[in-house]
């Protein structure tokens, strides 16, 4: 039963930060370890809402303007995982590299 609910928090060093500013992700390329659960902390510094979306990671989350959201991903197999901002797809592009 202990495996059903993943109450175990992600260790502090597995937290990765992304910033949305001027409809762009900073950094646009994020390197993370493969095979581990990752906590993504996405801070939207724009006044408008953005949707963090990734088909590769199977994630989708709306982040209101001037606020921070948490998204858990992984454990990931080594590889490149593209993500983008659904509301500003032309500029808001990024990739997570798991290795």
Partner 1 sequence: MFATAVIVFREVLEAALIIGIIAAATRSVAGRTRWLLAGLLVGLAGSALVAASTDAIAAMADGIGQELFNALVLGVAVLMLAWHNIWMSSHGKAMAAEATKVGQAIRDGQQERSILLVVVGLAVLREGSETVLFLYGISAAEGSGASSIVLGGLMGVLAGTSIGYAVYAGLLRVPLRWFFAATGMLVLLLAAGMASQAAHFLIQADLLTSLTAPLWDTSALLPMNSIPGMLLHGLVGYDPRPSGMQLVFYIITLAAIAMGMKLASRSLSPIAQKGKVS
Q: Which residues pair with 85 in a beta bridge?
A: 52
Cβ 60 to partner 1, closest distance in Å? 5
Query: Using the rule CB under 8 A, is 92 a contact of partner 1?
Result: no
Query: Using the rule CB under 8 A, is 27 a contact of partner 1?
Result: no
Query: Using the rule CB under 8 A, is 11 a contact of partner 1?
Result: no
Q: Which residue has the tokens 């390197």?
A: 31
CA dihedral 36→61→58→39, nearest 10 degrees, is 0
Tally: H helices and E strands in the chain:
0, 9
Residues that bind partner 1 (CB under 8 A): 3-6, 9-10, 37, 39, 51, 53, 55-56, 58-62, 69, 71-72, 74-75
């Amino acid at each position: 039963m202990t495996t059903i609910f993943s109450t175990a928090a992600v260790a502090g060093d597995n937290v990765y930060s992304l910033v949305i500013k001027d409809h762009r992700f900073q950094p646009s390329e994020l390197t993370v370890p493969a095979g581990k659960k990752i906590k993504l902390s996405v801070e939207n510094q724009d006044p408008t809402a953005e949707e963090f979306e990734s088909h590769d990671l199977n994630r989708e989350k709306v982040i209101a303007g001037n606020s921070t959201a948490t998204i858990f991903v992984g454990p990931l197999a080594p590889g490149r995982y593209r993500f983008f901002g659904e509301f500003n797809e032309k500029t808001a592009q990024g990739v997570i590299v798991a290795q």
